[in-house]
Structure 1
Amino acid sequence: MRKRRPLSAIGYFLMGSACLLIAVVMAAGVRDVVSLVPIVILGVPGVMLTFRAPVFSVSYGPAGVRYTGMFGTRSHAWADVLEVRVAVLSGKVYQSDVPELVLASGGTDQLLMMGGHSWGRARNRRVVRLVAQLEAARVAAS
């Protein structure tokens, strides 16, 4: 099985660590219950990002594809995947390209933590390369 990790996981880890550190420093000076609100607002995402970012990945091989993202792990056999394509999530300033699995059940599964940002009509080359590798693995397994 081949495993790919996004370079952005380092940034998510650093951001989570900073939020967690700020929450811990704020917790040291808590005097009343109202002061806990900012600690929770910074601490919960900080813990999630700090401990989940190092495991963001997509693994693929002859059996199928396994994606580990922010909120858990999902696996799909290649028999359940009709196609792998680049999905574009539009925004007001920039757009994000993400790998998307088109499933035989009629749904889709976007691999959001493997995405990358792009400007205008240009595609994110890293995402396009990952989609080509996933599609080649799917075709080879069929």
Structure 2
Amino acid sequence: MRKRRPLWAIGYFLMGGACLLLAVVMAAGVSRVVHLIPVVILGVPGVVLTFRSPVFGVRYGPDGLRYSGLLNARSHAWAGIREVRVAVLSSTVYSSDVPELVLVSGGTDQLYMLSGHSFGRARNKRVVRLVAELEAARAAAS
């Protein structure tokens, strides 16, 4: 079973830890209910980012793949995946390349936490390599 994690998972972990630390410091000085609002605003995202960021990524092997995102995790067997390709989510300033699973059922599943940004028509090389690895693993399993 191979694992691929985005590099910025470490940044999310550090940001979540900082938010959590600020929430704890603010909670230590809270004397009224109104002051609890900033604690909740910093504490909840801090807990989510701190405890979910170490599992961001995709694991794949002969049986299929398991994707772990910010708030969810999904598994797909290789038999249920027809193709792995790069999808482009475009905007006015930059585009984002994201791995996309084309399912046998006709739907798609985009792996947003593994996306990469690029400017112009250039593809994100990291996303292209990941898609090639996933497609090779899918082809080898079938």
For Structure 1 versus Structure 2, the TM-score category normalised by the shorter chain is over 0.9
Cα distance in 2 for residues equivalent to 1:93 and 1:37: 35
Cα distance in 2 for residues equivalent to 1:21 and 1:107: 41
2:28 is aligned to: 28
**Structure 2 residue 20 is the aligned partner of structure 1 residue 39:** no
- Quote how far apart the aligned CAs of 1:105 are: 1.5
Q: Which amino acid aligns with 2:127?
A: V
Residues 23 and 91 of structure 1, relative CA distance in 2, 3 Å threshold: farther
Q: Secondary structure at the match of 1:76?
A: strand
1:91 is aligned to: 91
Q: Secondary structure at the match of 1:83?
A: strand
Report the identity percentage. Answer: 77
1:49 is aligned to: 49
**Structure 2 residue 127 is the aligned partner of structure 1 residue 127:** yes
2:66 is aligned to: 66
- Quote how far apart the aligned CAs of 1:10 are: 0.5
Q: Which runs of 4+ in 1 moved over 4 A?
A: none
Cα distance in 2 for residues equivalent to 1:43 and 1:91: 31
How many residues in Structure 1 have an aligned counterpart in Structure 2?
142
**Structure 2 residue 86 is the aligned partner of structure 1 residue 82:** no
* Structure 1, gaps ≥5 residues long: none
RMSD, aligned α-carbons = 1.3
- Quote how far apart the aligned CAs of 1:59 are: 1.1
* Structure 2, gaps ≥5 residues long: none
TM-score by length of 1: 0.93
TM-score by length of 2: 0.93
- Quote how far apart the aligned CAs of 1:29 are: 1.6
